[in-house]
Structure 1
């Protein structure tokens, strides 16, 4: 994958070099922070728990996809024809086109960074571009045997490639995984194994499937559903209800119905509580869902998403774990 960065204007060589260095520092720092925040399991959790397209997540992702927003059915049609995973197809396309907003897709109907030796390919219609990309993916996956996202990354964005002097290709695999998760998870060549999703409570995949729909949404005090938005306990209550588990409304009430466990016993899907994030230091004031590897998924003042509980603010507020037992129905 080729990437060019241009800085215009008449800038002295020394100043130009300084600007480039500063931009690269900001770029890498920002991407790294986002990767750590959104992919605490190394970009994992990309398998659909049901093996089918999750209609709501699929449509929600496409609603943000620029000129591709109305092409969800076309992706499915082409994927079926070519024998490939529509979620993988869409995830790569969204990444290659900056979620349907790049010049390649808006001016050339090129939805997948398709190139010849002369440069980016142009297509008469967007549907033509999708058909061509489908053929390309068919060849890479079914002919060449590039089944996994990592395999495809070695073709689309090889790490260390001469045409990637800034080293940005290293982010291709985790970003495509992140987008696949937002689309509801891969439906082919994918299993919910330890390599994909940490061993956890039986309901963890369903809870995570629901919570990641709302990633990036703002925190809303008193919010307990998607229409209102979510506060910490509202998100937990809503997501666990999707798994058939009924929890009370507030963090304190949820704390009172779990079985206390140690940090060493905690599994993904257990709850993690915090003291004194507001009010008295002895007050249970926040709750999140433990996702493993020292992370939780929660709604907090920074919005809905992952947080590191091993250091900084959260570590200072006494993370305490609890397991939900016998709350179904």
Structure 2
């Protein structure tokens, strides 16, 4: 709301504009607050907010020296250790001058990992680049997941501390801004480690009666890596496997695949969507119209699902997800 003093200075000529804006805001507010039901969802730590920008991701990796063609390796290691693939790649690019340093070209060391056998005096040598990437992924898992260094700033202060004895030229002072810059070039983080959004994700409006039970179960696996074909905690979860398992805990039996779950549900317009409804996507793999991904709606911006960046909260309003959007769905009460 405008302060009174400022409003007076605007003059009578601005009053029609102000009234129009107030009218628009009032309508928007009424729409968003159609119900007083408001729930806080604790995502904890570092919350995923969006999918991979495939175009920028592939373009960046293809220009990165020895990393050319290693997109799938970055993704597989990221899934294995539950880390953000973009953050993983951005750090590797920073440590190796975009895949061109001697450490990575000759010693297959993409993460600047030191060799304990030499008292940390030399860079460790790996038999292959894939082996080096796996070791780096495990190190990042230990720092991000185990130690809780879930922002670029926290990670940089440990991974590349300013004033370190082995950094007489103070190059580490550039680590944080450079990693941010590279991550942006690769399409942006798929896990929101910069802003730590998620500690108070809110549901505004109505929710399906099963929503609390389903989300409570799904949240048990927050931060887990995506597991292709997975449908239980023993092997992990893919997107539809997570939905099937979580809904079953709430007494609702779903078919197995995203395509089958799409057919099992009724299409609903965006204006009628409630927390707990399904959101479907097409063409993330397979044919352009193949229903290939599913999540559960949290609010007008967020969903909870299992995708390549892991299990957790993701922003379905991002460019990637919007380009593959297939529709919202609700369980058919007649089935």
Greater gyration radius: 2
- Normalising TM by the smaller chain, what interval? 0.3 to 0.5
TM-score normalised by length of structure 2: 0.44
TM-score normalised by length of structure 1: 0.45
